[in-house]
Chain A
Amino acid sequence: MINTAIVMGAVMIAWAMGLIGAYQGGTQVQYTLIGERAQEAVVIEHVWFMTGPSKSIIVFVRNVGAREAELVSLYVGGSSYTPNGTWPYTLTTSNKVALQIAYNWAYGTSYLIVAATKRGNQARGEWTA
C-alpha cells in the first residue's frame, strides 16, 4: 500500500513538473517576444517627394532601438507598397535605410506614412508634399 502511494506520488510529481515545464517554456517565449519588441524602435526620419518623369517618394527609416528591426510593410495613405530593392529589409541598430516607391503624389497634400516591422512595431508620420 505504501509502495503504491510512493509510486503514485512520484508519478504526480513528474506530471506536475512536466506541466510546469510546459508553462515555463510558453511563458519564456512570450517574455522573449515582448522583450524583443520593447527593444526594437524605428522612426521615419525624413521623406522626400521626388519629381521627375515619374513621381516617387523616398522614406528614410532609422533604427533607434537596441535590436535589429526587420521592416516588412510600408504604407502610404493607407495603402501598402513594396519599395525598390531588398524587401523585407533588416535594419541594424543606429542605421537608416532609404525606401523608394513609385507614387503619384500631389503638391500640398499630406500623406500618412507608416513603416511596420515584423515584431509589430510601427514608425509613422504625416508628411506634406
Chain B
Amino acid sequence: MTFLGKRKGVSGIISGVFLVAVAVMIFNVLAWQFFQADMHNRVVLEAQQRDWERFNERLAIISVEVGTVYLNFTVKNYGSVAAHVVDLFIRFSNATHQSYSLDVWIPSGNTTRVIGPSKLKLQLTDVYDFQIGTERGNLIAPSEAMIINQSQPGGNQNVPFTLSFVKDSFQYIIGGETWAKAKPAWYINASCSDSVVFRVNITNTYKSNVQLLSGCHMLLVTPDQMGNLNAGYKMFIVAEGATITGGTVPALPAGGQWLPAGKSRYVYYSATSESGTDPTKLSSNPMDLNYLNFVGLFYKVANDPNGTVFGATVAIIAMQIKTVKKL
C-alpha cells in the first residue's frame, strides 16, 4: 500500500485505468457486433446466391422420342448455371401418376439426351405427360400437352409463297370497273359473259426478290357428279393493277412482275393466253358451280447464278361462281 500511500496523482491513474477498461469494453462490443453482422451478411449473400441460381436455371425439353420402350427425351440447358435433374414426374392419360429419381447433370449451354429409368416401361398405347424437377426446385415440362407414344408423321416443308385469308386477299372486278370497286372472289355472283380480272395477294417467303414469269396462271377446275375434274377457266398473269378497258387487259411486261423478299403483292390474272391481252369471260350460260382454284407460279429467284425457272402451286382456293343472264 506504499503506492496508495503516496496520494499525489493517484486519482488520475485510477480514472485512467477505468477509462481504458471502458474503452476496451466498448471496442469489444463494437468488434463483436461487426463480426456478427459480417457473418449474417455472408449467410444472406449465400441465400441470395442460391435464389439467383434457382431463377437463372433454365432448361427446355426440346424433343420427346415416341414409339420407344423407355422414356427418351432431349433437354437443353440454356441458362447460366449447370443443372442437376433429380426428379421425373409422369402422368398417364388414365390419371395414373408415377414419380422416379433421376441423376443427370447438364452443364450450361449443353444439350443432353435423357433416358428414363428402366423401371418405367412404356407401351405403344400410352398417352402421357411428364415433368422433370431439378435439385434447385424448378420444374420443367415439354411443350406438348400430352405425348402419344406412337410414331406419327411430323415432317414439314418450306413453301416459296403463301396466301392470306382476309377480306382483300382474293378479289375480282368485271370489265369497266376499277379496283376501288373490287369484291371478294371466293363467291362470285355475276352476269353471263362478263369479262373478269382476278387478283390474289401472295407473300414471297424467299429472302430474295422473286421474278414472276409470263407462264403464271390461275386454273379453275370443277368436279362433275362423277367426281371428274373439268377445266373451267384458265387465266394467265397480266400487268399489275390491270383493269379491262376497251375489251382488253394490259399484258404482263416483258420483265415480268417482281415480288420483293418477304413482302406481299397482288398478282393479277385475266389473259386467255400467255402474255395475251384478251380478258377471260365468264360462262355465257347461267351456271352455279364450285371450283378448285390452283394458282400456278413460274418464277426466278434474284441473284440465282443458274437462273433456274421454278414452278410452284401456291394453294388451292375453293370458289363458287354463279352466272346469271344479264337483265
Which residues of B (10-65) have their CB < 8 Å from a CB of A? 10-11, 14, 18, 21-22, 25, 28-29, 32-33, 36, 39-40, 43-44, 46-47, 50-51, 54
Determine chain A's interface SS by DSSP, over half rule.
helix
The listed residue (A13, A45, A50) touching B87 by CB distance below 8 A is A45
A73 to B46 CA separation, bound complex (whole angstroms): 26
Contact-residue bracket for chain A: 35 or more
| Interface 1/0 per residue, B3-14 and A, CB below 8 Å | 010010011001
Which one, B32, B43, B86, B97, contacts A35 given CB within 8 A?
Answer: B43
A12: nearest chain-B partner, CB-CB: B18
Do A16 and B14 touch across chains, with their CB atoms under 8 A apart? no
A-B contact count (CB 8 A): 87
B135 within 8 A of A: yes
**Interchain CB contact under 8 A, B99 and A34:** no
B322 lies within 8 A of chain A by Cβ = no
Instruction: Check if A65 is an interface residue, CB within 8 A of chain B.
Output: yes
Which residues of B sit under 8 angstroms from A75, Cβ to Cβ?
none
0 or 1 for each of A34-55: is its CB under 8 Å from B? (1 = yes): 1100110101011010110000
In the assembled complex, the Cα of A38 lies from the Cα of B40 at a distance in Å of 9
Q: Which of A12, A35, A51, A98 contacts B39 (CB 8 A)?
A: A35
With A46-B133, A94-B135, A98-B99 in contact, do A6 and B14 touch (Cβ < 8 Å)?
yes
**B residues less than 8 Å from A112 (CB atoms):** none
| A60 contacts chain B at the CB level, 8 A cutoff | yes
Q: Mark B179-212, 1 if CB is under 8 A from A, else 0.
A: 0000000000000000000000000000000000
Quick check: A13 and B21 within 8 Å, CB to CB? yes
Choose one: A9, A20, A23; the contact of B18 (CB below 8 Å): A9
**B95 pairs with A43, CB closer than 8 A:** no
Q: Is A3 an interface residue (CB 8 A)?
A: yes
Report yes or no: A2 in contact with B4, Cβ–Cβ below 8 A: yes
> Is A58 positioned at the interface, with any CB of B under 8 Å from its CB?
yes
Q: How far is the CB of A89 from chain B (nearest CB, A)?
A: 17
- Taking a contact as CB atoms under 8 Å apart, the answer to whether A46 and B139 are in contact is yes
In the bound complex, do residue A9 and residue B14 qualify as a contact, i.e. CB atoms below 8 Å apart?
A: yes
B136 within 8 A of A: yes
Q: Which residues of B contact A94 (CB under 8 A)?
A: 86, 135
Q: What 0/1 pattern do residues 83 to 97 of B give for CB contact below 8 A with A?
A: 000110101000101
Closest to A65 in B: B50
When distances are taken between beta carbons in the complex, the residues of chain A under 8 Å from B54 are 64
Residues of A within 8 A of B86 (CB): 94
Write out the residue numbers on chain B whose beta carbons fall within 8 Å of the beta carbon of A51. Answer: 95
Any chain B CB within 8 A of the CB of A119? no
B40–A50 CB distance below 8 A: no
User: Which A residues lie within 8 Å of B36 (CB)?
Assistant: 27-28, 31
Give the docked Cα–Cα distance between A2 and B232 (Å). Answer: 129
A24 contacts B47, C-beta separation under 8 Å: no
Q: How far apart are B21's CB and chain A's nearest CB, in angstroms?
A: 6
- Bound together, the chains give a CA A15 to CA B233 distance in angstroms of 111
Known: A13-B21, A38-B47. 20 other contacts (CB 8 A): A2-B7, A2-B11, A23-B29, A27-B33, A27-B36, A34-B40, A35-B40, A38-B43, A41-B47, A46-B89, A46-B133, A46-B139, A48-B91, A48-B97, A50-B97, A58-B97, A60-B87, A62-B137, A66-B47, A98-B99
Top 3 nearest A-B pairs by Cβ distance?
A43-B137, A64-B137, A35-B43
Residues of B within 8 A of A (CB): 4, 7, 10-11, 14, 18, 21-22, 25, 28-29, 32-33, 36, 39-40, 43-44, 46-47, 50-51, 54, 86-87, 89, 91, 95, 97, 99, 131, 133, 135-137, 139
- Would you list 27 pairs from A and B whose C-beta atoms are within 8 A, ordered by A residue? A2-B7, A2-B11, A13-B18, A13-B21, A13-B22, A27-B33, A28-B36, A35-B43, A38-B47, A39-B43, A41-B51, A43-B137, A45-B133, A45-B139, A46-B89, A46-B99, A46-B133, A46-B139, A50-B95, A50-B97, A60-B87, A60-B99, A60-B133, A62-B87, A64-B135, A94-B135, A98-B99
The chain A residues found within 8 Å of chain B, CB to CB, are: 2-3, 5-6, 9, 12-13, 16-17, 20, 23-24, 27-28, 31, 34-35, 38-39, 41, 43, 45-46, 48, 50-51, 58, 60, 62, 64-66, 94, 96, 98
